[in-house]
Chains A and B, each alone.
Chain A
Amino acid sequence: METTKFAIPEIIFGRGSLKYAGQCALRHGAKKVFLVSDSGIEEAGWVQRLMDVLAEAGINWIYYPGVTSNPRDYEVEQGAKFYLKNDCDVIMAIGGGSSLDTAKGIAIIASNGGKIRDYEGANRVERPLPPMVFITTTAGSGSDISQFCIITDVERAVKMSIITRTLVPNIAIVDPLILRTKTETLIIQSAVDALAHAIEAYVSRIASPFTEPQSLKAIDLIMRNLQSAVQTRSLDSLEQLSIASIAASMAFSNASLGAEHALAHSLGGQFDMSHGVIHPILLTSVMRFNLDSCVSKMADIGRVILNKNLGSDKETAMEGINKLDEFFASFDVPLKLRQVVNKDDQKHLEPICKMAVNDVCNLTNPRSASWQELLTICEKVW
């Protein structure tokens, strides 16, 4: 076995664990916290709740509300200026992947300077980042656990992956109570995102004995709980989903992803669509494409999905993927690309696939994928 590595932040998990945010910041020497969030979280009241927690701990903060979905390079650079101008010392973010990635980008620029695109790729951040304390409100993106940061390069219309161990936050707080205010769409999107993370990490070329059980656990929890979470919104189901998300994040942060995420990043960069929308469309197609390269692993996944073993590994794997299609179809989500991309934009698919080939995620895909092959996948799901 190759030498491997497994790194995750301190994770504080539990109902009401938001109340520890202040102490977490204090432990990292916070006097003035740079608080990143967006208007949706603000409206749900969580920003105010977090501010109360900080105030109770006697910590000052500067609130930076400038988060949009699919954060852009200039937003991050502006945020860093704001951070430095206000002499902050700890970065705290509450929100989904966008808020957390914005916070990560700000952290990089604030302590390393330059433009965010200078750090695209792996291990290019050289100076320590401000301590990061992240509170997820989606339990899907995994940004609160992972060494990934995805920022859109506006000029090139591409989502840049910035990967470095130093981007692993210091503390991730997952409070299932926060998840109760999620919309149905958001519950589905973040769960499917986590599912995609788990599956792609499991078949990744650098999956390890430390990531694989996390992947299977995540797949299992999502398959068993998403339906009831959407229907009943029960706290128990949401809690199980958030555990699944953490498990999937632990897996993909260390094992990376695959061609499906490479495509998703390129599509997202081009069309500014919500990341979670793409997975039900693409995931099973990419799995079928990969199947022959990792039959036994796909069978493992199939066994978890089906909760049983069929005649052969291949059968089990195939049936698992089919079952997954059914699973996605049971939710009110788009299953074809044409549902989310204009007909006129179909011509962009070729450049998108050419770009996706170079995405870092494509590197760990179990089967080498050319842009033509990726384009074929896209055309199949059009």
Chain B
Amino acid sequence: MAPHTTLEDLVGIEHSKLGFYQELQRKVEELKTSNNELEEKRKEVQALLDGITDLMVVLSEDLKIQSVNHVFGEWYPEADPIGKKCYEIFNEGDSPCEECPVLKALDCDETTKDLRIYEEGGKLRHYELIASPLKISTTGERTVLLFKRDVTREKEFQAQFYQAEKMATVGTLAAGVAHEINNPLTAISGFAEGLRRRLSRIQGKVEDDLYDDFEEYTDTILKECLRCRDIVRSLLTFSRPVASTLRPVDLNQCIEDTLFILKHHFKEQHKVTVKTELYKKLPMIQGDESQLKQVIINLFTNALDAMDGGGTLLVKTYPLEDNGAGLIVKDTGCGIPQEIQNKLFEPFFTTKPAGKGVGIGLSTCYSIVKNHNGEISVSSEEGKGSSFCVRIPGIDK
């Protein structure tokens, strides 16, 4: 039943035709709130997108660029990409690339990956391409999101990792071989010593010529045994470098000592000029002096060997940012071909004629430097010379 009605109710001063104003206002408030929320979300998503360091483009079915992220502008500051075909920008071509991952992604309707190598500024760069079909277009038009990531550094690291792993394997192998050779070598050398001691007893009892031959052959055997012993020792050093005690070492002093030892060696090479640029206040490094000298000798002899026809040997030291010390040994010799540069530090790799070297010099250098937590690298140009760079970290980094 209706509640009691009064005359005032009928006049209804306080009542009027209800409009949707309040509802409208509420709706507007709701929309404002929801708009703000969406804007926040959009900013969040934008921040996420901006955080992506890969190049991103959205492509239409006919490979026209529809939108790009900020990385695009950094990589291609000149280009105005929207509406252009992707291959016009990336490849400067006039037709789609072979086995285009975008077209493949559209065909199979699934994410496709591809690895491409482009030459840029004379250097080869590796790119990973990921194409994902997008299903968000309101018009039903299909689009593809393409990621382009520069993986050149990753590829380099990967190569270095393979190299290090190979070296470790070869090192283990070498150690095994060295041990096996050591025993027969000791026997040969022992018996050769025995023969030499007994030589005097047959002196005068055989023809002089025969005696001379015996003496010469025995000496040769012993000499070659010693050589073998050195090689074996070097091999062992390479695989399991002596747990030498590291102490503060002045790299400049090492260089000067080595130059002194090799003084005579250099004199024989009349046409080679030795230049030194030693940084006076070079920081001390933590190291094994004799091992470091071995590295320096190796680099010097290699440099001399490379400069048969004469040239300049530059020896330079410089401080490193982390309080370490760097050494550059640069020659003006024959240089090292590009394709073998990455094999230089492998054991038994040598370019010297058979008999002149066994190819453990640089590999030994490599393992010594690694044990000092340092780096050794080479840059070389054929016919112009090579430059070896050794960097050893400081005592307190």
Residues of A within 8 A of B (CB): 2-5, 7, 120-129, 147, 160, 163-166, 168, 170, 205-206, 254, 256, 360, 363-364
Contacts and interface: CB of A to CB of B under 8 A. Distances in A.
Nearest to A29: B20
A166 B13 contact: no
Nearest to A166: B18
11 contacts: A4-B11, A121-B3, A127-B18, A128-B23, A129-B18, A165-B17, A168-B17, A205-B7, A206-B7, A363-B7, A363-B10
A360 B6 CA distance: 8
A206 to B, nearest CB: 5
A122 to B, nearest CB: 4
Contacts of A3: 11, 13
A160 B15 CA distance: 20
B10 A256 contact: yes
A360 B15 contact: no
Nearest to B4: A121
A45 to B, nearest CB: 32
B2 A128 contact: no
A5 B5 CA distance: 17
Contacts of B12: 5, 122-123, 147, 163-165
A170 B17 CA distance: 9
A188 to B, nearest CB: 29
A236 B1 CA distance: 45
A360 B11 CA distance: 12
A128 B7 contact: no
A174 B227 CA distance: 127
A90 to B, nearest CB: 13
B9 interface: yes
A129 B17 CA distance: 9
Please name the 3 residue pairs, one residue from A and one from B, whose CB atoms are nearest each other, closest first.
A121-B2, A122-B9, A120-B2
A123 B23 CA distance: 19
B5 A363 contact: yes
A218 to B, nearest CB: 19
B16 A125 contact: no
Given A160-B2, A206-B7, A363-B5, A5 B23 contact: no
A273 B2 CA distance: 24
B13 A364 contact: no
A163 B16 CA distance: 11
B19 interface: yes
Given A5-B13, A166-B18, A364 B7 contact: yes
Nearest to B3: A121
Nearest to B2: A121
Interface of B: 1-3, 5-7, 9-13, 15-20, 23
A205 B11 CA distance: 11
Contacts of A160: 2
A-side interface mostly: loop
A373 B124 CA distance: 111
A206 B10 contact: yes
A170 B16 CA distance: 12
Contacts of B9: 121-123, 163
Nearest to B16: A165
Given A122-B12, A128-B23, A166 B5 contact: no
Contacts of B7: 205-206, 363-364
Contact of B15 (A164, A170, A205): A164
Contacts of A254: 11
A7 B7 CA distance: 16
B10 A165 contact: no
Nearest to A147: B12
B10 to A, nearest CB: 5
A7 B16 contact: yes
Given A164-B15, A206-B10, 11 more contacts: A120-B1, A121-B5, A124-B2, A127-B18, A160-B2, A163-B9, A163-B10, A165-B12, A168-B17, A205-B7, A363-B6
Nearest to B22: A128
B10 A166 contact: no
B16 A364 contact: no
Given A121-B3, A128-B23, A364 B17 contact: no
A5 B13 CA distance: 6
A363 B19 CA distance: 28
B10 A364 contact: yes
B351 to A, nearest CB: 88
Contacts of B10: 122, 163, 206, 256, 360, 363-364
B17 to A, nearest CB: 5
Contacts of B16: 7, 165-166
Contacts of A168: 17
Among B3, B5, B6, B19: residue with most chain A CB under 10 A: B5
Given A164-B12, A256-B10, A364-B10, A122 B20 contact: no
Contacts of B1: 120
A306 to B, nearest CB: 31
B20 A165 contact: no
Contacts of A129: 18
A7 B17 contact: yes
Contacts of B11: 2-5, 206, 254
A176 to B, nearest CB: 27
Nearest to A127: B18
